[in-house]
């Protein structure tokens, strides 16, 4: 039984976001689900309701800071917020990322996460603490891709690296306000985003077990949840090598964004 009676998830229409919503769902649970694709979001909401939870879908682009703040403020009080929305893109066949693609990825993966986390911090700071002194939990979905240079997807890896670093560095100040701030760094998860990758993905797992790992990590009060653990260690080790960039340049590249040829 989930300890979170109220939760808000961005990027909840598919993949890891939907898996997290379904894992949290149950009688007495209210889930605020955000996403850009309303039909897919409604399908996710239906799956959540089938488990006895209340689902409140909301069509939203997290790069719109005022709209995201307004949604979060009206949704409160909240026990858990998961900033999961993000996009992927890379260099394709050895091309350089365009300025438009680079800015789009940073806008969604970094600014979009901050557009979610910062208002959530403000909302939770006004909530009454529980018996453990905690006012709420906020999770930022970063990536193991941020642990090392990734020439095949420069903006994706860098945006996730920045989100992971900011989250960890901000956790002590959040803790002083009674809020648990945690960085989630998955490896490859089978989702529509990774389905386009043209290369082998070591450690690839389905979204449902990934969601279970995340919720276990949250229950253990971890500040960073990295899985598979061995992939995190490997990525960190490669990043220490003097020729890490050249080595990673031989790995596969993510495809360019669909609207960024």
Catalytic residues: 156
Structure tokens at 194: 């990774």
* CB-based burial, 104-138: b 16+ in 10 Å, e otherwise: bbbbbbbbbbbbbbbbbbebbeebeeeeeebbbbb
Sole residue written with tokens 């905690």: 134
CB-CB contact of 16 with 143 (8 Å) = no
**Parallel, antiparallel or unpaired: strands 179-186 and 224-227:** parallel
Half-sphere exposure of 76 (CA within 13 A, CB side): 20
Pick from 2, 39, 44: nearest CA to 19: 44
């Amino acid at each position: 039984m989930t300890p979170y009676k109220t939760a808000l998830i961005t990027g909840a229409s598919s993949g890891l976001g939907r898996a997290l919503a379904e894992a949290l769902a149950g009688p007495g649970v209210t889930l605020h689900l955000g996403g850009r694709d309303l039909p897919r979001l409604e399908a996710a909401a239906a799956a959540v309701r089938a488990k006895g939870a209340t689902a409140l879908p909301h069509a939203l682009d997290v790069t719109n800071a005022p709209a995201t703040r307004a949604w979060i403020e009206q949704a409160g009080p909240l026990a858990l917020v998961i900033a999961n929305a993000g996009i992927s893109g890379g260099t394709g066949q050895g091309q350089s990322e365009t300025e438009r693609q680079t800015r789009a990825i940073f806008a969604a993966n970094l600014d979009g996460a901050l557009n979610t986390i910062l208002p959530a911090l403000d909302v939770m700071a006004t909530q009454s603490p529980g018996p453990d002194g905690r006012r709420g939990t906020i999770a930022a979905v970063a990536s193991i891709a941020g642990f090392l240079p990734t020439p095949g997807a420069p903006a994706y890896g860098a945006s996730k690296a920045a989100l992971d670093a900011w989250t960890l560095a901000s956790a002590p100040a959040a803790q002083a306000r009674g809020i648990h701030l945690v960085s989630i760094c998955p490896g490859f998860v089978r989702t529509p985003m990774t389905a386009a990758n043209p290369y082998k993905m070591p450690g690839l797992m389905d979204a449902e077990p990934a969601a279970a790992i995340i919720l276990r990590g949250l229950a253990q009060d971890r500040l960073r949840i990295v899985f598979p653990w061995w992939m995190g260690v490997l990525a960190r080790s490669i990043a220490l090598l003097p020729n890490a960039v050249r080595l990673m340049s031989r790995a596969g590249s993510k495809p360019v964004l669909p609207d960024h040829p």
